[in-house]
Amino acid sequence: MSHLLPTYARADLAFERGEGAWLVSTTGERYLDCHCGVAVNALGHAHPALVAALREQAEKVWHVSNLFRVPAAERLAARLCEASFADLVFFCNSGAEAMEGAIKVARKYHAANGAPERVRIVTFEGAFHGRTLATLAAGGQKKYMEGFGPPVEGFDQVPYGDLDAVKKAIGPQTAAILVEAVQGEGGVRVGTPQFLRGLREICDANGLLLVFDEVQTGMGRTGTLFAHQHAGITPDVMGLAKALGGGFPIGAVLCTAEAGKGMTLGTHGSTFGGNPLAVAAGNAVLDVMLAPGFLDEVKRKALLFKQRLAEVTDRHPGVIREVRGEGLLLGLACVVPNDQMITALREEKLLAVAAGDNVVRILPPLIVAESEIAEAVDRIDRAATRLERAAGAAQQAAPKLEGIKG
């Protein structure tokens, strides 16, 4: 009997070590990891730069609280700002906290401008922004909200990609638009550059803040450091987490000085946010990702992977209907139930993760090798073949069962 609260449908599988794109189970089996802890382990497992940074920091100091300066946090904030649109950073521990902080920044901005009534935020159907009460309401998915009482007020949902619907949703109480450049949990749905640019124009025309949730897409996952860069625009506020620590828990809210002007002394806090261990991991991740050529390699490998997956889709139209995604945030939109595909992949010793719209996400580490991409494609091909054979066997058995009933 497990004493863990039963909020997860855990697979009966555990791992004892990992290296690069591979995990080794407690029974000694090797798995190719295209799950990456749901897009967290962007540099794979046991990356030497991360291991060295955490080992070195662990022998110095782990935690001091934000009542004192943390020089490495100041350095990480400066580097994130230099690599982005932002002027200011707040560190926290998770994606949900980052998005909760981003919502507070957006509302507080208008209060600081003398318009405290401007609290409503336009969000999008299919979005996922976290599991706090406010971020659940922002995502608007009833299956996650049921049983937790009245939803937090202040969010107006519209269809993803529909600029006309966005315009109609804006009123005198609107504060911001909150969007994912790619809806990961929502089915690897990619926002077009035209859509994202249109949101920027709408915000500028109406005095709103544009808030990007880059918790899953940020830190190189789509081939640029941040996914909104594909559209050639900048937000006012952005939430990061997941890959920022390469597996060590850390989140961040980034904003311009103007957008953050309401967040004054005492308005927000986090006990663990930006502690020495977390920012040591964050700085090590940036060391790798900002190295010359790293993101170019991600783009090159992503194109190769997507092309090879398209070939698998062509061979198995009864299992996979299309390939979606940007960079190494890839999705297989399935014909069969996606949980069957996940199981078939696991039987081929490949790990992937489900998403909405009957999609299987393929999220390899950004350091994945070409040979490992080829291996992943072969395993996906074999899994699809396995499902086709199972479906064929079921069809052959059906007439026999009908005959027995007759």
The rounded distance, in Å, linking the Cα atoms of 178 and 163 is: 13
| Whole-Å CA distances, 208 to 148, 153, 190, 350 | 30, 18, 23, 44
Convert 117-126 to b/e letters by CB count within 10 Å (16 or more is b): ebbbbbbbbb
- State the Cα–Cα distance between residues 52 and 203, nearest whole angstrom: 43
The response to whether 396 counts as a known ligand-binding position is no
| Encoded tokens for 120 | 């409503």
Residue 215 annotated as part of some ligand binding site: yes
Q: Is 131 annotated as a binding residue?
A: yes
Residue 321 in marked binding region: no
**Residue 65 is assigned to a ligand binding site:** no
Q: Is 195 annotated as a binding residue?
A: no
The reply, when asked if residue 84 is annotated as ligand binding, is no
Binding residue per annotation — 226? Answer: no
Residue with tokens 């979606």, as numbered in its chain: 324
Strand partners for 121:
155, 176
Check whether 95 is labelled as a binding-site residue.
yes
Cα(385)–Cα(381) distance, integer angstroms: 6
Q: Which residues contact 23 (CB under 8 A, 6 or more apart)?
A: 15, 17, 30, 31, 33, 45, 351
Task: For residue 100, say whether it is annotated as part of any ligand binding site.
Answer: no
Q: Which residues are annotated as a binding site for pyridoxal 5'-phosphate?
A: 95-96, 128, 213-216, 271
Q: Which residues are annotated as a binding site?
A: 95-96, 128, 131, 213-216, 270-271
Q: Which residues are annotated as a binding site for N(2)-acetyl-L-ornithine?
A: 131, 270
